[in-house]
Structure 1
Amino acid sequence: MEERPVTGEFWPVADVLAFLAGSWRVERAVRDLVSGDEGRFEGVTVFGPLDGGGLLHHESGTFTWQGVARPAERTLRFLPGGSPGAADVRFADGRPFHDLDLSTGRHVADHPCSADLYRGEFTVRDEDHWRTVWRVGGPAKDLVLVTDYVREA
């Protein structure tokens, strides 16, 4: 992968789909700010080619909440955005989720879900490490989800 100058603590990404392609180890901490309960997801996210362009994101692993471990998975579509550093992120069924522009190495996106608001901050540390922090607030939820991604060799 081509080296990029680091600006502060963020690593600019010239081509977001090329950067994401492949397999990533995932660790996610989930904290309920009301109850104080904490959970953890550990697994793998694979970004593979999507027919017609873009990437199919498939995450699978184990989510542990209140001491109970369960299998968990989700699928998203990362479609080409308005520039090579950007993507249009959609749910598996095609509904819009959020925009993503990592050309500066950092991006903030909002996703309204019923009466709750999901605000995600995406940061790239280097070619093999990136993080998302989702803050979910509203009448139904008050959560923080911190996910670290490490590229698998």
Structure 2
Amino acid sequence: MDEFRPVPDALAYLLGSWRVARSVRDRASGAEGRFTGVTVFGALDEGGLLHEESGTFVWLGVPRPAERTLRFLPGPTPGTADVRFADDRPFHDLDLRTGRHIADHPCSADLYRGEFTVRDADHWRTVWRVAGPAKDLSLTTDYARLG
């Protein structure tokens, strides 16, 4: 059985810089890719964190620069977060108080289901499974705290 580390405050835990290693697998075609880079969770003036990820995504042997920005805002319950895209559209909720959380994000006819697990003070993982008529993907991301 996996052991998870409870996190009383998701935003406090995530604050800082993380090394990122993500594997992407298209379960329909068998194609695989990999992203490596850094994610920085920096404080927002209005509260919450700005998540800025940048690095290199290699797909079918071709490397490309890749980046994304998310906003992690205080959630409705103390210690939780409301994750939003850069344009403020809702993405998912996040509650790490047990060290593990499952979140869903419907995207058109596809469903993204994410599992978030905290291993220790400096390591956590997300596993997104995307299923639907347009996509059949598995994305596993490991985060290791820098500094």
Same fold (TM over 0.5): yes
Give the fraction of aligned pairs with identical amino acids, expressed as a percent: 79
2:17 counterpart of 1:12: no
* Contact kept in structure 2, 1:116 and 1:138, CA below 8 Å: yes
* Contact kept in structure 2, 1:16 and 1:84, CA below 8 Å: no
5+ long unaligned stretches in structure 2: none
Question: Alpha-carbon deviations, 1:98-138, whole Å to 9, x = none?
Answer: 00000000000000001100000000000100000000000
Match of 1:41 among 18, 23, 35: 35
2:106 counterpart of 1:112: yes
* Contact kept in structure 2, 1:134 and 1:146, CA below 8 Å: yes
Q: Distance in 1 between matches of 2:25 and 2:122?
A: 25
2:83 counterpart of 1:93: no
What one-letter code is carried by the residue in structure 2 that aligns with 1:89?
V
Indicate the residue corresponding to 1:29 in structure 2. Answer: 23
Indicate the residue corresponding to 2:72 in structure 1. Answer: 78
Question: May I ask how many residue pairs the two structures share in their alignment?
Answer: 147
Runs (4+) of structure 1 moved beyond 6 Å? none
What one-letter code is carried by the residue in structure 2 that aligns with 1:86?
T
Q: Distance in 2 between matches of 1:143 and 1:51?
A: 35
Q: 1:127 to 1:84 in 2, by over 3 A?
A: farther
Q: Distance in 2 between matches of 1:92 and 1:101?
A: 20
Q: Distance in 1 between matches of 2:28 and 2:86?
A: 30
- Report the aligned-residue RMSD: 1.1
Indicate the residue corresponding to 1:126 in structure 2. Answer: 120
What one-letter code is carried by the residue in structure 1 that aligns with 2:7?
V
Question: Alpha-carbon deviations, 1:3-42, whole Å to 9, x = none?
Answer: xxxxx61000011111000000000000000100000000
* Contact kept in structure 2, 1:115 and 1:138, CA below 8 Å: yes
TM-score under structure 2 length normalisation: 0.98
